[in-house]
Structure 1
């Protein structure tokens, strides 16, 4: 085995100041077998054992170690009285190499499942409106092509969705990046603007008006999303900007289903996404017993985006659903 070398300060500076580290290693010639060698050395502490695991000779294994050190310009291992031990540099790369190889194995498995029609798995989070006009059509398409792909979808607020994405519970989500999170943690592509409306039951007394002024709304019960939600803050801002007192007879719920039930069975008013209201009322949808209240103001929310975690690759199945959703926005 070649004697470990410590690179000169000038060489280290050149490497650190250059292109991103992994990209630089790959361009320099770091190979899959180099990664396997590092993992084998870390696990066994013997060049001979690592060579056996990779089905190569011990001299070939020693040459491979020298190649890795030439590429990285740092020593990756040191001799002990019995065997070798990885340096801090070697351990760092071995840890990353294990992740890379695991991801490649998972990609190979998933691509094989997609090829044979056995499936794959996708977890998607979304705010309400795009769940209907973007996610559902994309899911229908992917189910037609690959019916055995397992798809998990959850509708929630952007704050909940962003936290779940960072915790790796979602592959990606449709929504917004919360103000209290570092936007550098995400890759984001704006794909639409969410609009909302007010809904009431069929035959509601306010439906007698061609256009209902905002000051007439405060005397009725309201069903709101929890305090701090984007839709609620937007509507409260409209009341405040017009100098109208906020409603004080309020039921708070994050459940869209309970919201629609309360509206359909009482005189309550509720703000919901316009796409949801349109679907509930359509013949192809639920043909529900609600009406959109004609108002003298619009409820426009912040644009929503297709959001992934930065530097986290999507699985083949997740990438497919991601791309289908993008195609829906461009149709």
Structure 2
């Protein structure tokens, strides 16, 4: 099965039609249609349903697309790795970061990486465990740096602890709840839950349960640092974040840590990668800088 047939199929899926895929790849529409048809003939099933609006995936197409993305991503990574082993510092490194957790070291690690690998493009995505796992499984990330709400299967993922982070309840500096000292005062507060992938953050549930309380339901859940900050600064919302985030110069004048008397939890920050997809030489260089910079910091 030729890789170009798989790439034609994925382009059709991504762009929604044979015509749009052909335009994106700079190929003729009949040629693109022929490649998709050849792939279907090789598999013995229909992958797409064609209509005037474009294409929809069949059940076979949905299953094949999941595997096909991994095939294409791993092939591209393999080509880059061979070039890097020849001594060429080129290619792309793709990582996903939990931004509030990495705020104190990411810029330093990236500067060191760019010094060592000036010809390598770095793509950085923002997200937490749910988004990271999805993209790692698709092969579109080299690794992720994130807290973990639930344990990942050891057979599928390699997980390495980078830091243990003290957590804090944070609100805007002039917010209504800024002087609260006990969790009982916050059960009716407008809580912003950050990136748990569930309706209530497991960390929040465990914290409140430990003191015999029900975790307050979220008024909003955010996967984006930008939206988290916007909501915090424009409302009386409170949220649970790594304490180091509120101490950063960019945020120290606008956010404050509540003086909660109850001991708050710590949370680990992890470097996560797929076991079956070893890091390329240049992605290994970036991961190495991340390990060293994270280890040099104390919360």
TM-score bucket (shorter structure)? 0.5 to 0.7
Equivalence for 1:70: none
Moved over 6 A (4+): 100-104
- Alpha-carbon distance in structure 2 between the residues aligned to 1:249 and 1:177: 19
Equivalence for 2:294: 329
**Is it true that 1:160 corresponds to 2:131 in the alignment?**
yes
- Alpha-carbon distance in structure 1 between the residues aligned to 2:189 and 2:76: 57
Equivalence for 1:74: none
Q: CA deviation at 1:300?
A: 2.4
- Alpha-carbon distance in structure 2 between the residues aligned to 1:271 and 1:325: 24
**Is it true that 1:219 corresponds to 2:188 in the alignment?**
yes
- Alpha-carbon distance in structure 2 between the residues aligned to 1:102 and 1:153: 18
**SS state at 1:183 partner:** coil
| Greater RCO (Cα-Cα under 8 Å, separation 6 or more) | 2
Q: CA RMSD in A?
A: 3.2
Q: Per-residue CA shift, 1:221-263, capped at 9, x if unaligned?
A: 2222366559822122222232334435722332222222222
Distance 1:231 1:303, change over 3 A: farther
Distance 1:286 1:216, change over 3 A: closer
Identify which of 274, 299, 302 aligns with 2:264.
Answer: 299
**Is it true that 1:255 corresponds to 2:224 in the alignment?**
yes
Equivalence for 2:102: 131
- Alpha-carbon distance in structure 2 between the residues aligned to 1:133 and 1:142: 16
Asked if the contact 2:173/2:256 (under 8 Å) is kept, the reply is yes
Distance 1:223 1:105, change over 3 A: closer
Identify which of 225, 232, 247 aligns with 2:201.
Answer: 232
Distance 1:181 1:288, change over 3 A: same
Identify which of 107, 112, 122 aligns with 2:81.
Answer: 107
Equivalence for 1:173: 144
Report the TM-score, using the length of structure 1 for normalisation. 0.58
Point out the structure with the larger helix share.
1
- Alpha-carbon distance in structure 2 between the residues aligned to 1:102 and 1:114: 15
Q: CA deviation at 1:137?
A: 1.8
Equivalence for 2:54: none
Asked if the contact 1:230/1:301 (under 8 Å) is kept, the reply is no
- Alpha-carbon distance in structure 2 between the residues aligned to 1:144 and 1:110: 16
- Alpha-carbon distance in structure 2 between the residues aligned to 1:155 and 1:298: 29
**Is it true that 1:200 corresponds to 2:165 in the alignment?**
no
Larger Rg: 1
Asked if the contact 2:127/2:195 (under 8 Å) is kept, the reply is no
**Is it true that 1:270 corresponds to 2:235 in the alignment?**
no
- Alpha-carbon distance in structure 2 between the residues aligned to 1:248 and 1:286: 26
Distance 1:238 1:132, change over 3 A: same
Report the TM-score, using the length of structure 2 for normalisation. 0.63
Distance 1:109 1:226, change over 3 A: closer
**Is it true that 1:320 corresponds to 2:294 in the alignment?**
no
